[in-house]
Amino acid sequence: MYDLDSILGSNGELVKHIEGFQSREGQLSMAQAIERAINQRTHLVAEAGTGTGKTFAYLIPAILSGKKTIISTGTRNLQDQIFEKDFPLIRDILKRPVEGAVLKGRANYLCLYRLNQAKMQTSSLIKETDVELTEIERWSHQTLEGDIAEVTSVAEDSLVWQQVTSTADNCLGQECPMVSECFPLIARKKAQEVDVLIVNHHLLCADWSLKDDGFGQLLPEAELIIIDEAHQLIDTASRFLGISVSARQVLTLLSDIGSEQLKLASDMPELIDLTHVISEDIREMRKLLPEQSIKGAWDELEQLKDFIHALDCLVGRIEQLFKILGKVAVRSKGLEACWKRCEDILLRLKLFTNKERNDWIQWFETYSRTFTFYRTPLDISKAFSSFAFASEASWVFTSATLSVNHKFDFFTKRLGLEGAETGLWESPFDFVHQSLMYVPTGMPEPRDQCYTAVMMENVIPVLNASEGRAFILFTSHRALQEAATILLTKTDYKLLVQGDLPKQQMLESFRRSDRAVLLGTASFWEGVDVRGDALSCVIIDKLPFASPGDPVTKARLDYMTENGQSPFSEFQLPSAALTLKQGVGRLIRDVEDKGVLMLCDPRLSSKGYGKVFIQSLPAMPITQDINDVKRFYRRIKTQKSGVKQTT
């Protein structure tokens, strides 16, 4: 019988079985807190600083408990890492006969019914897509799991995948004629049989929101639910509890109606005529919306000439389509599914014509050719807490960024988890000796038009001292582009600018290069892991306050003001502090890493709230003298050359 100290302690099983493993007090303490939460059936919110080893800290007590466990992560990549590497390693060391599985969203699995539908429409496909479809059909006879990631010969972003995978909208569920061979259903059945199931937040929230997709629910069976990268859960849950209607959803429905009409309703040409009219309505509505790709508040649309009339016309036409489909729905399961989808779109679209908003934020997003309308709940705390606390399961929420100034209120209140236990385990890394924070003097206010130019004057000496090997993280694309232009003319470093290459290619190129500087915005602030000498400097242009122009942020701030709350201290400040922690977390990823953090924003010292940001970060020396930065890098260089001489 194992106890956690005999596994994670200095003479434990992990030290014996994993080369280079070092026992960490924080990891053992965190695992013990999780074990208590499991045994006492309570909820735990656990922040674990970089290097704590939180994956092992929750996997070990979960496996030892013998309870049916769901682990939810932020991304599919993290799912695969846990399932393919961490889970089997711990299971084998513990010698427990525990079965695990990864479950992805239905769009990651081939739909045999839709593959057959696509084959019947090959005449309408472009030649390249026709070749890809042939390749997918050949693979479909060989695959056991139907995971489309197996098909490396067809690009991930190929349009053909939309034709051969299903969504909650177009899946026929138990009524599908090929239900016995359904890959998503097979994956779900396997998921219900295993001891440890690894999902991502999108799938977890889809299951929670109880969408009737014909597959049943996973969550009621779980005894332990572990939310990794828990800081991402709130936004994901808000989207799933919200309501949206996209132009793509409507156009996909119209396409599917066309396919069914050709086979089973050719005597009703008015059906296909109406789909053409609605398709044109969608195109005309896109022309009414802002030309550029933006997010905007709903009242901006209401002020546009003809928008309300166009929306009413679209609702009327889809209502007409629903009535016609009702007459032919009995002819096939496909037509019946189209009829139900049409009703669902109609009901959601009607909500956007309702003047009563109450606790909902109504907004829109435009893309180059399409658009989406959203209704987002202002507050999900009651919905989530009633769900979590009604469950028999223990919940563990963990991330490196859950607390602000060592307090968890901002996270727990937003999920209604005020009654949960909390724990904070600092990073085991020696930030005092491994890092230096540099805050330059003489910077203008962030709103100043010359801010980025002055910032880059201060940045270049730091890059020269670090010999490149830096991330420069920005809060806006405009500032990023301006900085890139300056660096191109004034330095000879290899520049990797977000947008020039796919994210993973940029990171691989950065790791292989000696003097690279990577410029990125939001997607590079978290989930990016570069260890060793390749990265020895992280530069952040401004404190990452959410843009007040964002429609969801603006509505939330207005709502808080109306209800006597302080939007700045209760939302904007803690939200920005957590985002800054994510960005800063890119710097020190390993016990051997060393580097400089440069925070350019003068508000860190000029505003009283600056100390909240500083106190939320790992304790590291702070300087305003560039000479200290130069000395730091000279010392690192000397230490490394000394090590080389003695080896």
Q: Which long-range contacts (CB under 8 A, 24 or more apart) does 180-183 make?
A: 181/112, 182/111, 182/112, 183/109, 183/110, 183/111, 183/112, 183/143, 183/145, 183/146, 183/147
Give Cα separations from 211 to 173, 208, 227, 328, 335 (angstroms).
Answer: 12, 8, 21, 25, 20
Write down the residue that tokens 């998503």 correspond to: 184
Element at 14 (helix H, strand E): helix 13-17
Tell me the C-alpha distance between 356 and 352, whole Å.
9
Report the candidate in 413, 83, 408, 402 with the shortest Cα–Cα distance to residue 229: 402
Tell me the C-alpha distance between 304 and 311, whole Å.
12
At the topology level of CATH, where does 243-377 sit? de novo design (two linked rop proteins) (1.20.1440)
Report the candidate in 54, 67, 68 with the shortest Cα–Cα distance to residue 26: 54
The 10s digit of each residue's pLDDT in 177-213 is 899 999 999 998 888 899 999 999 988 888 776 544 4
H-only helix segments in 367-426:
381-390, 409-414
The 10s digit of each residue's pLDDT in 444-473 is 999 999 999 999 999 999 999 999 999 999
Given this model, what pLDDT does residue 213 score?
44
H-only helix segments in 176-246:
183-193, 201-208, 233-241
Tell me the C-alpha distance between 374 and 372, whole Å.
7
Identify how many contiguous H helices and E strands the chain contains and give both numbers: 29, 18
Q: Name the phi and psi angles at 340, rounded to 5.
A: -65, -40
Tell me the C-alpha distance between 597 and 146, whole Å.
45
The 10s digit of each residue's pLDDT in 490-518 is 999 999 999 898 898 999 999 999 899 99
Which residues in the chain are classed under CATH 1.20.1440?
A: 243-377
Tell me the C-alpha distance between 94 and 16, whole Å.
12
Strand partners, 71: 198, 226
Given this model, what pLDDT does residue 358 score?
77
Neighbours of 626 (CB within 10 A): 16
Query: Residue 395: left if φ>0, alpha if ψ -120 to 50, beta else—which one?
Result: beta
3-state secondary structure of 219: helix
Neighbours of 302 (CB within 10 A): 12
Q: Please give the structure tokens belonging to residue 14.
A: 């992990």
Which residues in the chain are classed under CATH 3.40.50.300?
A: 4-105+187-238+386-425, 431-646
> What's the CA angle centered on 584, arms 579 and 590, to 5 degrees?
135
Specify whether the CB–CB gap between 400 and 584 falls below 8 A: no
Strand partners, 496: 518
Tell me the C-alpha distance between 127 and 122, whole Å.
9
Report the candidate in 222, 352, 371 with the shortest Cα–Cα distance to residue 295: 371
Report the candidate in 190, 205, 210, 221 with the shortest Cα–Cα distance to residue 70: 221
Low-confidence ranges of the chain (pLDDT < 50): 124-125, 211-216, 644-647
Tell me the C-alpha distance between 396 and 394, whole Å.
7
Cβ neighbours of residue 243 closer than 8 Å, sequence gap 6 or more: 348, 351, 374, 375
The domain at 4-105+187-238+386-425 falls in which architecture?
3-Layer(aba) Sandwich (3.40)
Report the candidate in 469, 521, 463, 451 with the shortest Cα–Cα distance to residue 490: 463
Report the candidate in 257, 252, 278, 243 with the shortest Cα–Cα distance to residue 353: 243
Specify whether the CB–CB gap between 374 and 364 falls below 8 A: yes
Specify whether the CB–CB gap between 590 and 51 falls below 8 A: yes
Residue 581 CB-density burial (10 A; 0-12 exposed, 13-18 middle, 19+ buried): buried
Name the CA dihedral angle for 638, 640, 643, 647, rounded to a multiple of 10 degrees. -130
Strand partners, 361: 376
Write down the residue that tokens 């977390």 correspond to: 585
Tell me the C-alpha distance between 289 and 294, whole Å.
10
The domain at 431-646 falls in which architecture?
3-Layer(aba) Sandwich (3.40)
pTM, whole model, 2 decimals?
Answer: 0.89
Q: In what order do the strands lie in the sheet with 494-497?
A: 494-497, 516-520, 470-473, 537-540, 595-599, 435-438, 622-623
Strand partners, 437: 597, 622
Q: Name the phi and psi angles at 199, rounded to 5.
A: -125, 180
Residue 577 CB-density burial (10 A; 0-12 exposed, 13-18 middle, 19+ buried): buried
Instruction: Report the Cα–Cα distance between both ends of the chain, in Å, rounded.
Output: 43
Given this model, what pLDDT does residue 214 score?
41
Q: How far does CA 175 lie from the centroid of its chain?
A: 32
Tell me the C-alpha distance between 585 and 602, whole Å.
21
Q: Please give the structure tokens belonging to residue 109.
A: 């699995």
Amino acid identity at 168: A
Tell me the C-alpha distance between 282 and 278, whole Å.
6
3-state secondary structure of 406: coil
Q: Please give the structure tokens belonging to residue 324.
A: 């016609």
Given this model, what pLDDT does residue 317 score?
96
> What's the CA angle centered on 261, arms 260 and 267, to 5 degrees?
145
Report the candidate in 634, 624, 578 with the shortest Cα–Cα distance to residue 600: 624
Q: In what order do the strands lie in the sheet with 69-73?
A: 100-102, 196-200, 69-73, 224-227, 394-399, 44-48, 421-425
Q: Name the phi and psi angles at 20, rounded to 5.
A: 85, -5
Tell me the C-alpha distance between 72 and 338, whole Å.
32
Amino acid identity at 137: E
